[in-house]
Amino acid sequence: MASKFGLAGGIPERRVRPIWDAIDSRQFKNALKHSTSLLAKCPNSPYALALKSLILERMGKSDEALSVCLNAKDLLYKNDSLLMDDLTLSTLQIVFQRLDRLDLATGCYEYACSKFPSNLDLMMGLFNCYVREYSFVKQQQTAIKMYKLVGEERFLLWAVCSIQLQVDLDHDHVEWLQRILIAGSDKFVINALLLACSNLDCSKNLQYAKPRSNLLKVAAVQQSDLVSVELPEHFLDVFCGNGGEKLAMLAEGLLKKHVASHSLHEPEALIVYISILEQQARYGDALEILSGKLGSLLIIEVDKQRIQGRLLARSGDYATGADIYEKILELWTAVTYNPDDWECFLHYLGCLLEDGSSWSNGVHNDPINPQKSVDCKVSQLPDEVFHSRISTSLAFVKKLQADTSDDFIRCPYLAILEIERRKQLHGKGNDDDIVEALMLYFLKFGHLASFSSDVEVFLQVLTPDKKTEFLAKLMKTLDSPATVPTKALGQSITIFKIQELTGNLYKVPVLELESCAVQMVKMYCKSLPLSKDLDPQESMYGEELLSMVCNVLVQLFWRTRHLGYFIEAIMVLEFGLTIRRYIWQYKILLLHLYSHLGVISLAYEWYKSLDMKNILMETVSHHILPQMLASPLWGDLNNLLKDYLKFMDDHFRESADLTFLAYRHRNYSKVIEFVQFKERLQRSNQYLVARVETSVLQLKQKADNIEEEEDVLKNLNSGVHFVELSNEIGSKTLTFNEDFHSRPWWTPTTEKNYLLGPFEGLSYCPKENLVRNFIDLLLYTKEREENVRRVVEKKSLLPRMIYLSIHSASASLKESVEENGSISGSKISSELKFLLEHHAKMLGYSLSDAVEVVMGVSSGVKSFEAFGSDKIDWINFAVFLNAWNLNSHEPLQPDRDQCGRGIWHVVDTLLVKYISEKIKSMESLVCSPRVDLPILVQLVTEPLAWHGLVIQSCVRSSLPSGKKKKKGGSMDQHSSLVLNGVRDSIQSLCDILKEVAKWIRGQIDRSEDESVENILSSLRKKEQDERPGRVFHVLESLIPSINEAEHGGRICQELKTWSALDVARKIVTGDSTLLHFVPALGAASDLELLPYLSATERVEWIVQALHRWTRSLP
Amino acid sequence: MTTIRRFSCNDLLRFASVNLDHLTETFNMSFYMTYLARWPDYFHVADGPGNKVMGYIMGKVEGQGESWHGHVTAVTVATEYRRQQLAKKLMNLLEEISDKIDKAYFVDLFVRASNTPAIKMYEKSYPFLRIGCWTSGPTGAFQRNAGAFSGRYSTLLSSILACNMQAVVFLLLGYVIYRRVLRYYSGEEDGLDMRKALSRDVEKKSIIPLKRPITPDELEYD
């Protein structure tokens, strides 16, 4: 801060200090007082003004802050004699940045630098401005100027990083420009390119202009004066050639020259130098540099060796590469454990077998979901050579085994399995050898929790018979268990896990499977005393068993459809959490069980207890977000979305400053990483979905009041931005950052839930493996991407369609819409028709065909199945179609009635029929999970609500406004037909809502005790029949035998609080809590009372409102 | 089976299974990125077979003159990979970097001073000690869950019963209790400032314990 208190713009420190002190202690009023008196003395000081604007901004007075800030800027520009110091500029910069006007801040620094071209502080400030704007070309130019000025290595590297960033540009921009260049007219292309250069710094993309280069070259030069941007220095160079290559050469040239005159002094600079050479496949040159004087910059020898190994392998010198990796693996000291370095071993083996797969930085290798095993090629080596190399590797691995005494070094043992796998890939393998190697590995490490995930990829290469053989051998080891109890327990758990992994559990009959679960839960009970003295924060022995029991019970439910098994799974996990409440694995399973049961409020409770925050919201919220989007828990959903978007937006805001921090600390590789990471998050599919859904949620929440809905729409710019988003999304490459590894087997992705379909047996097993190989991964990602695009595309049309529907409805009763003064009835009609066509296209139909489908389903000619999986979208379509039809002079269908009443009827029928269908399908909770509840909620809160808005709009427009009278004749006839439609529609909504209310009342009125009893009785097994309850019985009978001496005080204490009755009651209460939310749909104003009313009261209230409207109609 | 390499931003998208643990703090982005931008050599992740994240360590180097030192901010290991000495390996790596690259005088860390009754049990029942998740700093937390240390230290334990488990674990890694910081944790609980001298501190001056406890205000660094 010392510099801050120097002379700033000529103001002595003592005058400024009280202002900063007040700002720092958040006493803004006080700060403003000091600032006013300072300005009285120095009215023309830009710094004093900058301080005032800073205070105003902190007080939330953005407009005033901007105006004062602009004054300060003008003063700086006008008066050359004023001191243009970094302190004033950086203060202005802070304010401009907080006001989202980075351009103004950059402008100030640009001006200052043009006035004082040799002031390094100002140039660094300018560089920082360009970093904030992701303006890589300008960063590069500024860094080069600084480098020329002082010759420091760091500025050269700043320039090189800026070049690197241009090379690594976002694919999105490349794709976008490709599209423009293919489709656009020449003038358009030029403008797009200029825009790209000025705003996006996409100079790399200019390479795609090559086919038109001559024309563009001329046009660019001719037009450059028309556009107020300066062409980047190498605009035309890049224009005509391969930009990426040229840029890499430019970066290399700069470094080479500097090295010749000054050498390099920072290890990070060397790393950047090598990576630039590597990018150009100049491995030999890179190796030479590394083994020369510069190599000594890498102090830790192994770091250097790893790079050497990689370069050698990539250059094809496998023999030397293998030697290097061998050396690395042999390094074993008190603090270095290289024999355990699995990746290094894979590289070693890759070199020996002359297979470079593990170094190819394939574009498809997702850094977030990397492949589980090396996707190696079938070796091209002649058999003899192959055998000899395999023998070499085996001998080396044995030597490593002998040399390392540590019991925790697993690599040399697992290496045997990898060698066997490679042999098999070469066609020389032997399943027996693999089984033997697996057994040896089990005997050494079978007690470790990581055993099954260690060997997962090796099990996959075995035939089903061999898997069974391996399992049988494992079972045999149980005859002579390990003497240490924890070790014996670990081995037993491993065997269960292997059974799960090989799919064995999906083959056995139901009773046997149930016995297996009983065995697991007995083992859990038996192992409890082992944990008697552990701290509650500490993982207990055998904790995994209950997760596995849950998995088996859910499978039993899937196979038998006995809900009791499902409830039993819940009980088991709740029991486990009673003993130790921190087990996140149980919580995730439970939240999915409750979600499937339709008790989303309990699912959300468990989600909250996981305390997901910051980056985990991006990777882990998939567990709850999709369910919440379809739930009526709007308050919770709103918090979920708000927190997530805040986290992401905060990151986007601060990311550039952190990037600059990396520049300042000379960690150049992090600079590139930070920029790429921000891009990755910005293209997150979840982020996109959350943005759209937040707006849809606001619309749902306010749909009961047309005026409030109109306010929401106004804030959403009448939905225009979202239509743009919908148009743009096709060209966006989305990223998928969700971590699906923690999802349960029955719902391995957000789109899949096996429990909704019939038992598929082994067809799904072993556990769905999303990343088995990259072809699967690619296909899966592509499929998800398409899916998300479709959803977002459709959803983002919603706000605009709602807006247009409201206006279309009122325009049908008035001649034109005067609101906002711009949009006329015919414009509404044509735009809405265009969007309907778009919507129909997304459903796979032309507009007229889609109308046919809707009519067909409504009239009963077709079933709802004709809508496929997009039923809500179809009903939405019908709602908007009706709204359009009200104000359209085009006949909807030839030979159909022309007044629109027919479509009113279609919408009403669709809503009534589908809602009734859903109500009927949902019997009581204890009979089946309530999977239809979210659909009912969606129906009522989306299409029905939008339809309610159309009705509200009609009602409002029909009320006498005192303005001009409507024209007589046909208009009056039209109006009365519309109003008839409204009346009928209201009646039909009333009827169906009453039906919903009746159903809800039926659910709520059921005695709580009766529901609880139903749940508990589903667990009580009677004699020998095939019914759930055996597992639960084991846990229940454990309670009386619990004693302090054996199980420890804590476990005893916790178990005293266990009550299955409480859990059952929680489920019932959670379920009815949810039902209270369902009819939060309103259809009239003045709804403040709603939250305080019961579900049925609400519905009744809404029905009354609807009746009132009917009465108010002319 | 561990490949220890520098932590990268993408690892933030992969570490959920480690951070879901209730005692592993998930910091905000600027915290992680400040560490990455300033001390990338002190932020390492351990990958297991199948490219799974096993655990990670975060730290920094700071100070002036003879207090130039490495600092451990957090160490954490996923449940699946505990009891395999991973935390120890990560600590050793940080110490080596402080020693060889940055030529620091010592490495330090802060632990809660609260005593736990678990020590006797560990001494009796386990051939090794465990460390799972541990985060330094006033908001930090600790869990003695994983990683494993050889039984050869068990006799040492009886002489250090006065310390808490976290302190015990670090004592076994060669750290000494340098001083007590009064009410360091949220103004309530005392912290122990533990240190291990590096080769540059030939006379081991940095680890001569202070006799009197200090207050957080007297701390030179955060």
Per-residue pLDDT at A1062 exceeds 60: yes
Query: How far is it, in rounded angstroms, from Cα A313 to Cα A361?
Result: 13
Between A1081 and A1068, name the one with better pLDDT.
A1068
Q: Check A539 against B145: CB less than 8 A apart.
A: yes
Q: What are the tens digits of pLDDT across the range A619-663?
A: 999 999 999 998 888 899 999 999 999 999 999 999 999 999 999
Between B153 and A904, name the one with better pLDDT.
A904
Token pair listed for A580: 């130790």
Per-residue pLDDT at A127 exceeds 70: yes
pLDDT at A1103: 60
Q: What are the tens digits of pLDDT across the range A1006-1048?
A: 778 888 888 888 887 665 566 788 999 999 899 888 888 889 8
Question: Residue A196: how many CB atoms within 10 A of its CB?
Answer: 19
Best of A614, A654, A777 to substitute, by most chain B Cβ atoms within 10 angstroms, is: A614
pLDDT at A77: 86
Residues of A in contact with B148 (CB under 8 A): 408
pLDDT at A35: 92
| Nearest in space to A352 (alpha carbons), one of A278, A429, A422, A401 | A422
Minimal Cα–Cα distance from B163 to chain A, Å? 16
* Beta strands B133-135 and B142-143, pairing class: antiparallel
**Average pLDDT score over residue span A53-80:** 90
**Average pLDDT score over residue span A909-924:** 83
pLDDT at A43: 85
Residues of B in contact with A665 (CB under 8 A): 37-38
Which of A907-916, B40-49, B72-81, B179-188 is predicted least confidently?
B179-188
Boundary-marking domain end, from A116, A144, A179:
A116
Q: Is residue A659 part of a domain?
A: no
Boundary-marking domain end, from A79, A99, A116:
A116
Number of domains in chain A: 2
Q: Is residue A933 part of a domain?
A: yes
Minimal Cα–Cα distance from B54 to chain A, Å? 10
Q: What are the tens digits of pLDDT across the range A252-311?
A: 999 999 999 999 999 999 999 999 999 889 999 999 999 999 999 998 888 899 999 999
Per-residue pLDDT at B219 exceeds 80: yes
Q: What are the tens digits of pLDDT across the range A688-738?
A: 999 999 999 999 988 878 889 999 999 999 998 888 888 878 777 889 999
Q: Is residue A1011 part of a domain?
A: no
Residue A130, Cα to own-chain centre: how many angstroms?
28
pLDDT at A1069: 84
Per-residue pLDDT at A1106 exceeds 80: no
Per-residue pLDDT at A446 exceeds 70: yes
Per-residue pLDDT at A965 exceeds 90: no
Q: Tell me if residue A1054 falls in helix, strand or coil.
A: helix
pLDDT at B220: 79
Number of helices (H), then strands (E), belonging to chain B: the values are 6, 9
Q: Check B79 against A614: CB less than 8 A apart.
A: no
| Cis previous bond, A1040, omega within 30 | no
**Average pLDDT score over residue span A569-578:** 97
pLDDT at A6: 54
Query: How far is it, in rounded angstroms, from Cα A1040 to Cα A922?
Result: 39
Best of A358, A450, A493, A652 to substitute, by most chain B Cβ atoms within 10 angstroms, is: A450
Nearest CB to B20 within list A299, A410, A584: A584
Per-residue pLDDT at B5 exceeds 70: yes
- Residue A595 contacts B, CB cutoff 8 Å: no
Nearest CA in chain B to A582: B22
Question: What is the residue type of B216?
Answer: P
CATH number for the domain including A54? Answer: 1.25.40.10
Per-residue pLDDT at A198 exceeds 50: no
Scan for tokens 């089946």, then name that residue: A928
Question: What is the residue type of A845?
Answer: Y
Q: Is residue A95 part of a domain?
A: yes
- Asked whether A413 and A450 are in contact (CB, 8 A), the reply is no
**Average pLDDT score over residue span A539-544:** 92
Q: Which residues of B62-85 are buried (b: 16+ CB within 10 A; e: fewer)?
A: bbeeeebbbbbbbbbbbbbbbbbb
List all residues of chain A from 282 to 321 with a beta carbon under 8 Å from chain B: 299-300
Q: Is residue A773 part of a domain?
A: no
Q: Where residue B82 falls among pLDDT bands split at 50, 70, 90?
A: confident
pLDDT at A416: 95
Per-residue pLDDT at A398 exceeds 50: yes
Query: How far is it, in rounded angstroms, from Cα A1011 to Cα A991?
Result: 28
pLDDT at A835: 95
pLDDT at B164: 63
Between A1106 and A865, name the one with better pLDDT.
A865
- Asked whether A396 and A351 are in contact (CB, 8 A), the reply is no
Residues of B in contact with A658 (CB under 8 A): 29-30, 33-34, 37
Minimal Cα–Cα distance from A674 to chain B, Å? 7
Nearest CA in chain A to B19: A616
* Average pLDDT over all residues of chain B: 79
pLDDT at A933: 80
Per-residue pLDDT at A207 exceeds 50: no
Q: What are the tens digits of pLDDT across the range A158-170?
A: 999 999 998 876 4
Minimal Cα–Cα distance from A588 to chain B, Å? 10
* Beta strands B133-135 and B69-77, pairing class: antiparallel
Q: What are B60's strand-pairing partners? A: B71
Which of A375-384, A557-566, A595-604 is predicted least confidently?
A375-384
pLDDT at A973: 67
Q: What are B192's strand-pairing partners? A: B111, B180
Q: Where residue A918 falls among pLDDT bands split at 50, 70, 90?
A: confident
Q: What are the tens digits of pLDDT across the range B163-207?
A: 566 776 777 778 888 998 898 887 888 888 889 999 999 999 999
Taken in order of first residue, the domains within chain B and their CATH numbers are: 3-218 (3.40.630.30)
Domain that holds residue A33: 2-116
**Average pLDDT score over residue span A575-603:** 94
Query: How far is it, in rounded angstroms, from Cα A554 to Cα A562?
Result: 10
Per-residue pLDDT at A90 exceeds 50: yes
- Asked whether A66 and A53 are in contact (CB, 8 A), the reply is yes
Q: Is residue A854 part of a domain?
A: yes
Q: Tell me if residue A1006 falls in helix, strand or coil.
A: coil
Q: What are the tens digits of pLDDT across the range A498-535?
A: 998 888 888 889 999 999 999 999 999 999 999 887 77
Minimal Cα–Cα distance from B141 to chain A, Å? 11
Share of chain A above pLDDT 70, in %: 80
Contacts of B216 (CB under 8 A, 6+ apart): B138, B181, B182, B183, B184
Q: What are the tens digits of pLDDT across the range A831-857?
A: 999 999 999 999 999 999 999 999 999
Query: How far is it, in rounded angstroms, from Cα A500 to Cα A474?
Result: 13
Per-residue pLDDT at A81 exceeds 80: no
List all residues of chain A from 1052 to 1091 with a beta carbon under 8 Å from chain B: none
Boundary-marking domain end, from A61, A84, A116:
A116
- Asked whether A442 and A494 are in contact (CB, 8 A), the reply is yes
Residue A353, Cα to own-chain centre: how many angstroms?
39
Query: How far is it, in rounded angstroms, from Cα A984 to Cα A1013?
Result: 44
Scan for tokens 């890939």, then name that residue: A425
Q: Check B49 against A342: CB less than 8 A apart.
A: yes
Share of chain A above pLDDT 90, in %: 50
